[in-house]
Structure 1
Amino acid sequence: MKKSLLCLSLLLAVSLSGCGKSKSTPPPAASATPAATSSGAASKVDAQALFKANCVSCHGVNLEGSVGPNLQKVGGKLSKDQITAILNNGKGAMPSFKGRLSDDEINSLAAWLSEKK
């Protein structure tokens, strides 16, 4: 019983550590060709690349969730401003990305996620 509890605790700790790990190499923040947003404006930041570099370990490759919640329809539940606040301040086990990502990166990621409905 103690052995299985220890293994489960260790597995949980390893899983959660992926969400807060610091990056050893900077993510590909800006794309060579600006991506167009749904409003038609050009974006300097590739939000999908940011997601892959910073969020996949907890939210999954297809936003399906694993350690973190499913984000496939997050835009139907939360506004861009609410998502921006969560990215800046963190929530629950999710760390804050303020200081890790620039304001432009956070805004682009929040806009991209808010389109997921």
Structure 2
Amino acid sequence: MMLSWYGPQAFFILLSSLLVASCSSSPTEAPAATPAASAPAELPGKALFATNCALCHGPDGKRGLNGAHDLTKSNLNQAGRVYMVTNGLGKMPAFKGQLTPEQIEQVAAYSLTLQ
């Protein structure tokens, strides 16, 4: 299981983010995951991903620089990815001070297309 790489803190973070997402008063629909080859170039999160994430994760999500995880193998859903981008973990920095909540949602949604 992928969570063993992070240890008990990651399990708690993922569980907390899922709990928060399930308690949301406004229902949101997560975008359907599509293969990277069919991801349209105009996806708003693609440019944000290229600028903020591709250095470590690579343009295809597989690079793994500085211990970055292979996003094509991640089992995190939209809510888990939003949490990770917002707050960071380990060597991954938090982007809550650099990106708006809407931009973080867009990056997370785009990262799901890399699976």
TM-score range, shorter chain: 0.5 to 0.7
- How far 1:113 sits from its partner (Å)? 1.6
Flag the structure with more relative contact order, 1 or 2, with Cα contacts below 8 A and sequence separation at least 6: 2
Matching residue of 1:48: 46
The answer to whether 1:80 aligns with 2:78 is yes
Higher Cα Rg: structure 1 or 2? 1
Instruction: Give the TM-score normalised by the residue count of structure 2.
Output: 0.57
- Kept after mapping to 2: 8 A contact 1:45/1:105: no
Give me the identity figure in percent.
Answer: 31
Q: Relative to structure 1, is the Cα distance of residues 81 and 73 closer, same or farther in structure 2, using a 3 angstrom cutoff?
A: same
Q: Shift of the alpha carbon at 1:70?
A: 1.2
CA–CA separation in structure 2 for the residues paired with 1:61 and 1:92: 21
Gaps of 5+ in 1: 1-36
The verdict on how the C-alpha distance between 1:47 and 1:111 changes in structure 2, with shifts beyond 3 A counting, is same
Corresponding residue to 1:99 among 97, 100, 113: 97
Q: Which amino acid aligns with 1:96?
A: A
Q: Considering fraction of residues, name the structure with more helix.
A: 2
- Inter-partner Cα distance in structure 1 for 2:109 and 2:94: 17
Q: Which TM-score applies when normalising by structure 1?
A: 0.56
For residue 62 of structure 2, what is the aligned residue in structure 1? 64
Alpha-carbon distance in structure 2 between the residues aligned to 1:115 and 1:48:
10
- The total of aligned residue pairs comes to 75
Task: Flag as ranges the 4+ runs of structure 1 deviating above 3 A.
Answer: none
Q: 5+ residue gaps in structure 2?
A: 1-30, 34-41
Tell whether the 8 Å contact from 2:61 to 2:111 is kept in structure 1 after alignment: no
- CA shift for structure 1 position 116: 3.4
* CA RMSD after TM alignment: 2.2
Match of 2:112? 114
